[in-house]
């Protein structure tokens, strides 16, 4: 099965990067000594906010949906992803990988789709912000 970063790894990434940016920016920009604890207090505070927001919207989640008609599913899926700017680009294991154009892909991530014909089930994995939109489309 495909393993992508979940909530905690995404949180840690945003938390750590924000702390680093705050420490460098505040110490260099304001001329405050690296050993001043106020830099780290501010970094932790802003890191918690950035970590929570980043983890909420950019963590990877997976949904599994049953389908009755594969052609309808593929059409709806391709149309929905195209409206969001995603196109099928490659294959990875049993997954079709959907990506945006090169520059947009940096910020949007990838969407992985696996259609299991014999089980009449589709597995979709990607960033929470994209997968939650797809989930709403399939639930309607």
- The residue range of the domain holding 114 is 60-139
Instruction: Report the domain count for the chain.
Output: 2
C-alpha 140/C-alpha 137 separation (Å) is 5
Q: Are residues 47 and 67 in the same domain?
A: no
DSSP 33-82: -TT-HHHHHHHHHHHHHHHHHHHHHHSEEEEEEE-S-HHHHHHHHHHHHH
Q: Name the DSSP class of 29.
A: H
Domain match, 35 and 24 both? yes
Residue that the structure tokens 């990434």 belong to? 13
Write the pLDDT tens digit of every residue in 58-91: 889 999 988 888 888 889 899 999 999 999 989 9
Residue 2, in any domain of the structure: no
* Closest of 129, 117, 120 to residue 85, by C-alpha: 129
Give residue-wise pLDDT tens across range 23-72.
999 988 888 887 889 899 999 999 999 999 999 988 899 999 888 888 88
């Amino acid at each position: 099965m495909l393993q992508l970063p979940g909530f905690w790894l995404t949180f840690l990434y945003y938390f750590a990067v924000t702390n680093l940016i705050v420490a460098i920016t505040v110490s260099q920009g304001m001329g405050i000594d690296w050993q001043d604890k106020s830099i780290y207090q501010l970094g932790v505070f802003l890191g918690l906010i950035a970590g929570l927001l980043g983890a909420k919207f950019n963590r990877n989640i997976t949904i599994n949906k049953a389908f009755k008609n594969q052609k309808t599913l593929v059409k709806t899926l391709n149309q929905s992803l195209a409206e969001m700017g995603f196109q099928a680009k490659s294959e990875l294991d049993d997954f079709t990988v959907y990506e945006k154009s090169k520059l947009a892909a940096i910020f949007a991530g990838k969407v992985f789709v696996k259609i299991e014909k014999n089980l009449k089930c589709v597995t979709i994995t990607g960033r929470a912000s994209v997968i939650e939109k797809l989930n709403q489309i399939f639930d309607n």
